[in-house]
Amino acid sequence: MADTEIVSHGTAHAEESTGGGLMRRLNMWTGIVVGVIAAVVVYFIAAKLWVNPDNENMAQGPDQAVIAAEVAWVIGFLVGVGAFVAPFRWLLGRDQTHDDEMFLAGKGQGVGRYLRFTTDHKVVGVQYLVLAMTTFGVGGILAMTIRTKLASPGEGLFGGQIYNGLVGMHGIIMIVSTIIMVVGPWGNFIMPIMIGARDMAFPRLNALSFWTLFPVVPIFLSVAFLGGIPTGWVAYAPLSDQAPPGMDAFAVGIIMFVISSGIGAVNLIVTATTMRAHGMTWNRTPIFVLGVTATSVLGLIALPCFEVGMIETLLDRSQEASFFVPEQGGSQWLYANLFWIMGHPEVYVILIPATAAILEMTPVFSRKPLFGARLAAMGIIALVALSVLVWAHHMFVSGWAPTLAGPFMLTTELISIPTGMIFLVLIGTIWRGRIWTRLPMLFVYGFLWNFMIGGITGIFLSDVPADNELHGALFVTAHFHYTLLGGAMIGAMAAIVYWFSKMTGRMFDERIGTWSFYTIMIGFNVTFMAMFFNGLSGMPRRVADYDPQYLIGNMISTAGAYVIAIGMLLFLYATVSSWRNGPIASANPWGAKTLEWYVPSPPPLENFEHLPVVTGDAYGYGEPNTIHTTHPGVPAVAQVAALAEGDAS
Amino acid sequence: MSNELEELPEASSRPPLSERMKTPEGKTIIKVATVVSVLTVLLLIFCIWWPLISLPPTMSDTQAEVKNTLLIFSIASAPVMALVWGIAYYSLRHWNAGSGDTPPEDGPSIRDNNRLSLAWVVGSALLTAFLLVWGLAALTSTTTLPTDAKPLTINVIGQQWLWNFQYPEDGGVTSNELILPKDRPVIFNVTSTDVIHSFWIPEMGIKIDANPRVTTTTLTTPDTLGVFNVRCAELCGLNHSYMETSGRVVAPADFDQWVKDQGGTPGALVPLDVNKIEPKE
């Protein structure tokens, strides 16, 4: 990472510290140490308090101790990483000095700032990218383990317990990675620059949202050592009530993840609504900003339902409550409803940012304005609105409210209309363009292919009689992998390639990137097409073993999965090697018009020396009169030069 | 679908169709339409072949309905996919500006086309409406009992990790194998003794969750003699993948014989409350 250029601010301050020496020594490692100590201490105290030696039934003991210890780990970590330094100082009656604020923003700290509670939105973006790619790698390894086991029927590598645990872990780790993989890196890094802001609205909350997410990853990994979860990531009750303590760790992980994403979502919404540059009306706001904002709103509405479900699950398990335990008067359908009120919007939380990123780069690589920009905005908003009204299509076969099958079939099928609008916008933008077939454009084509298949098969599943046959079958697995891996993940990879130069100052290695693109596309379609066939012929999902008639399809799926893995490794190699020694990028290698391309790569602290003024939208390709931005304070000659550089370099 | 294509380039004045087709735009339209048509045909072949070879044998009226629905949806999706992919493919072929280091010249500034957008939205709405009407009709027919035959009620009890079947109308016979008489509607009252399971007969197109303390219901009419599978379709713990059993559709006379062999009496009503079931050891 190149050193950032430091924008001087007012008068120079003396370098010596004005108190707060402790703050400057806190980082990720101190966080881990404090977190582990807190967890161990709390575990033993809780185990002592709750486990009554006179009581033979000690089954309750570990649950409470695990819950307490996992919560203590997160709080301890946050204390140790320095998340509460500033509030603590205010309690002591002292304020942060300017130097302290600049330190918190990561000024002059080199690589160390990525391991600290750093408030600069660009640092947070990089942290999110590295974390998302790491967790995606973990989830991918789990997926490969599952596929390797399923290469042949029979007991094979391991039995049902380990298999079920793997399925659940793969599910939740992938869900978390895909939720953060566009909004985390690019919503934080690019979005504020795109709207002409110097940072997020609440920089400290921004750091808090990342550092609350970070300790969640070890929590999910600890699930495996606490007996795993037998339920899959849906954690259906009452199976979750008989699960080992891994379930407690899982629930605490979800609760912390929802808190982290809620903090991030509020920050993104406030930033996008209040900090857009002078002149940037909603009509002139890039579609990616709109997508991130809409996603944040949706996440803020939907994800807390999962949190509530998990809190109640924990109460059921540790405090003998009975929200979801039918034997004690609870309702498993209550849980299913809570889960799916989160669960369906959540797939749009994953999908919309990736789609918006694709919409953002299609005009750049077609050299044409975004076709029907209003249609795209309406499509995104309609997706958000409809997605909270369709959850019961996941419960068509549950037996809950059969009379609602018709209405929910209606709302679900209505989703095909806004999805169709987005497809129209995409092909309308490509139509008669000057298609510049650089790597991001290949990903746009990959998205068009995969997401079309994912969307169409979703319509199959919206039909109640068809769903009665296909629900719980491998068909569903194939369908949502086509949307989430083939659609959202491809979009996220496009975003990495597209914004890589802005984040790192270096160009992405497109030769290896292209190889990885084709490898992934072929492997992906082989893997999941075979699953469609197996699913239609009646193979259930989440089974550790299967009848020999499904052997061929499973072998093809496993072979395809290995091809995907090779492609992903190629992509990882391209990312790492380009980051280390790719060719130096200019400020605007794509000739794009959104604001992030007017600042150096990588952008300096606080992004803009002079805040831009927006005078038109960012898609004026072929329109000399539509100018997105002017820079007051910069001499006119330099502006023209910058524009020319922007168009030609 | 080709109507929508014609409107892509702005046609300000409207000379006769034959004239318009000779302009460069018109030729483009013809070429795109050709690509889309060829692609539609290829996709149609795939979309018809795919469900037909994959779906399990049809053994009930419900499954026949499911099969028709999947076929219709699959066929309807072919032109939609062909349209989007055909246009994307054509654009890539004919307006490819290479992958050079510098961006190509800007393309034409086409920002919107209200008529096309409207046609697209109306078209997709009509398609949706068709699918919805089809779905509601199929839903009604699969959830309505035929009136021409006396239905048979069977209690289905899931427990970790096996299925039990009770025949309360045939002397309370119980079995781990599901025997059904041909051409007689069957009502399944489904419940569970522990966690959520899902009662699924792939060959009959029916699936309903088995919930503890609740009874859910589904129905179908088996119409083909033969063997079928009963599976659990909801992850229910350790041996979920082995929670399956087989079943047979037999002639009505054979069914009565089977009931007698099991020690029951065909037609003898034994009140069994599906909600008061103790798990078996």
How confident is the model over A344-393, as pLDDT tens digits?
A: 999 999 999 999 999 999 999 999 999 999 999 999 999 999 999 999 99
Chain A residues near residue B62 by CB distance under 8 angstroms = 465, 468
* Pair (A378, A455) in one structural domain: yes
Q: Is B124 touching A (CB cutoff 8 A)?
A: yes
Phi, psi for A515 (deg, rounded to 5): -55, -45
* Pair (B79, B158) in one structural domain: no
Q: So what's the pLDDT on residue A17?
A: 44
Residue where a domain stops, chosen among B110, B143, B176? B143
Handedness of CA B255, B261, B267, B272 (dihedral sign): negative
* Pair (A551, A619) in one structural domain: no
Chain A residues near residue B8 by CB distance under 8 angstroms = 428, 431
Q: Among A87-91, A271-275, A433-437, B190-194, which stretch is predicted with the lowest mean pLDDT?
A: A87-91
* Pair (B127, B181) in one structural domain: no
Chain B residues near residue A374 by CB distance under 8 angstroms = 112
CB contact under 8 A, A427 and B84: yes
Q: Is A164 touching B (CB cutoff 8 A)?
A: yes
Q: Please, which pLDDT band fits residue A319 given cuts at 50, 70 and 90?
A: confident
Residue where a domain stops, chosen among A531, A558, A581? A581
Stretches where chain B sits below pLDDT 50 are 1-11, 281
B204, part of any domain? yes
Q: Is B212 touching A (CB cutoff 8 A)?
A: yes
What is the C-alpha separation between B150 and B256, in angstroms, rounded? 15
Whether omega for the bond prior to residue A192 falls within 30 degrees of 0, making it cis, is: no
How confident is the model over A502-520, as pLDDT tens digits?
A: 999 999 999 999 999 999 9
Residue of A nearest to B200 (CA): A469
* Pair (A87, A124) in one structural domain: no
* Pair (A161, A210) in one structural domain: yes
Establish whether this prediction's ipTM goes over 0.95. no
How confident is the model over A224-251, as pLDDT tens digits?
A: 999 889 999 999 988 998 899 999 999 9
Chain B residues near residue A405 by CB distance under 8 angstroms = 139
Chain B residues near residue A371 by CB distance under 8 angstroms = 110-113
Chain A residues near residue B242 by CB distance under 8 angstroms = 160, 545
- How many domains does chain B divide into? 2
Chain B residues near residue A423 by CB distance under 8 angstroms = 84
A1 has a pLDDT exceeding 50? no
Residue pair A268/A187 in contact (Cβ under 8 Å)? The answer is yes
Residue of B nearest to A456 (CA): B77
Mean pLDDT of A629-642: 59
* Pair (B45, B125) in one structural domain: yes
Whether omega for the bond prior to residue B161 falls within 30 degrees of 0, making it cis, is: yes
Q: So what's the pLDDT on residue A122?
A: 94
Residue where a domain stops, chosen among B79, B113, B143? B143
Q: Please, which pLDDT band fits residue A109 given cuts at 50, 70 and 90?
A: confident
Residue pair B186/B23 in contact (Cβ under 8 Å)? The answer is no
B139, part of any domain? yes
A87 has a pLDDT exceeding 60? yes
Chain A residues near residue B125 by CB distance under 8 angstroms = 417
| Cα-based distances in Å from A640 to A368, A496, A590, A607, A633 | 21, 29, 18, 20, 13
* Pair (B138, B218) in one structural domain: no
A10, part of any domain? no
Q: Provide the pairing of β-strand B216-220 with A613-614.
A: unpaired
**Residues, chain A:** 649
Residue pair A225/A144 in contact (Cβ under 8 Å)? The answer is no
Q: Please, which pLDDT band fits residue A635 given cuts at 50, 70 and 90?
A: low
* Pair (B88, B156) in one structural domain: no
* Pair (A546, A632) in one structural domain: no
Residue pair B80/B36 in contact (Cβ under 8 Å)? The answer is no
Nearest CB to A472; choose among B112, B142, B200: B200
B216, part of any domain? yes
B101, part of any domain? no
* Pair (B62, B173) in one structural domain: no
Residue B22, SS3 per DSSP: coil
Q: So what's the pLDDT on residue A20?
A: 57
Range of the domain at A623: 595-648
CB contact under 8 A, A398 and B98: no
Q: How many CB pairs under 8 A join A and B?
A: 291
What is the C-alpha separation between A283 and A377, in angstroms, rounded? 9
How confident is the model over A51-81, as pLDDT tens digits?
A: 655 555 544 558 888 999 999 999 999 999 9
Residue where a domain stops, chosen among A47, A70, A103? A103
* Pair (A194, A323) in one structural domain: yes
Q: Which two tokens stand for residue A301?
A: 């509405």
Range of the domain at B246: 152-261
Q: So what's the pLDDT on residue B201?
A: 96
CB contact under 8 A, A621 and B107: yes
* Pair (A97, A205) in one structural domain: no
* Pair (B166, B72) in one structural domain: no
Rounded to the nearest angstrom, the minimum Cα separation between B182 and chain A is 20
* Pair (A174, A261) in one structural domain: yes
Nearest CB to A536; choose among B51, B95, B143: B51
Residue pair A620/A369 in contact (Cβ under 8 Å)? The answer is yes
Chain B residues near residue A232 by CB distance under 8 angstroms = 235
A217, part of any domain? yes
Q: So what's the pLDDT on residue B2?
A: 42
* Pair (B136, B202) in one structural domain: no
Q: Is A449 touching B (CB cutoff 8 A)?
A: yes
Q: Please, which pLDDT band fits residue A557 given cuts at 50, 70 and 90?
A: very high
Residues ≥6 apart with Cβ < 8 Å to B146 = B61, B185, B221
* DSSP-derived secondary structure letter, A66: H
Half-sphere exposure of B62 (CA within 13 A, CB side): 30
* Pair (B179, B241) in one structural domain: yes
* Pair (A328, A359) in one structural domain: yes
Closest CA to A376 of A249, A289, A300: A289
Residues ≥6 apart with Cβ < 8 Å to B246 = B177, B178, B227, B228, B229, B230
B112, part of any domain? no
Handedness of CA A603, A606, A612, A616 (dihedral sign): positive
Residue pair A296/A268 in contact (Cβ under 8 Å)? The answer is yes
* Pair (B130, B160) in one structural domain: no
Mean pLDDT of A239-264: 94
* Pair (A381, A511) in one structural domain: yes
Half-sphere exposure of A246 (CA within 13 A, CB side): 27
Residue where a domain stops, chosen among A581, A606, A640? A581
Q: Is B110 touching A (CB cutoff 8 A)?
A: yes
Q: So what's the pLDDT on residue B272?
A: 66
Q: Is B57 touching A (CB cutoff 8 A)?
A: no
* Pair (A199, A252) in one structural domain: yes
Give the CATH number of the domain where residue B221 resides.
Answer: 2.60.40.420
A539 has a pLDDT exceeding 70? yes
Residue pair B78/B47 in contact (Cβ under 8 Å)? The answer is yes
Residue pair A495/A550 in contact (Cβ under 8 Å)? The answer is no
B249, part of any domain? yes
Residue of B nearest to A510 (CA): B99
Q: Please, which pLDDT band fits residue A634 given cuts at 50, 70 and 90?
A: low
B195, part of any domain? yes
Q: Which two tokens stand for residue A305?
A: 């339902």
A213, part of any domain? yes
* Pair (B25, B132) in one structural domain: yes
What's the whole-number average pLDDT of chain A?
90
A643, part of any domain? yes
Residues 291-350 of A with CB under 8 A from B: 326-327, 332-333
A283 has a pLDDT exceeding 80? yes
Q: So what's the pLDDT on residue A173?
A: 95
* Pair (B180, B217) in one structural domain: yes
CB contact under 8 A, A462 and B50: no
Rounded to the nearest angstrom, the minimum Cα separation between A177 and chain B is 23
Nearest CB to A160; choose among B110, B135, B241: B241
A344, part of any domain? yes
CB contact under 8 A, A463 and B74: no
Rounded to the nearest angstrom, the minimum Cα separation between B167 and chain A is 21
What's the whole-number average pLDDT of chain B?
89
Q: Where are the alpha helices (DSSP H) in A183-286?
A: 188-189, 191-194, 203-213, 216-223, 246-274
CB contact under 8 A, A460 and B74: yes
Q: Is A548 touching B (CB cutoff 8 A)?
A: no
Q: So what's the pLDDT on residue A9?
A: 41
Residue of A nearest to B229 (CA): A538
* Pair (A349, A301) in one structural domain: yes
Give the CATH number of the domain where residue A145 resides.
Answer: 1.20.210.10
Nearest CB to A406; choose among B104, B136, B242: B136
| DSSP string over A374-424 | HHHHHHHHHHHHHHTT-GGGGGTTT-S-GGGHHHHHHHHHHTHHHHHHHHH
Mutate to test the interface with B, among A397, A410, A550, A627 (most CBs of B within 10 A): A397
Nearest CB to A368; choose among B51, B108, B217: B108
A16 has a pLDDT exceeding 90? no
- How many domains does chain A divide into? 3
Mutate to test the interface with A, among B99, B142, B227 (most CBs of A within 10 A): B99
A14 has a pLDDT exceeding 60? no
B275, part of any domain? no
* DSSP-derived secondary structure letter, A435: B
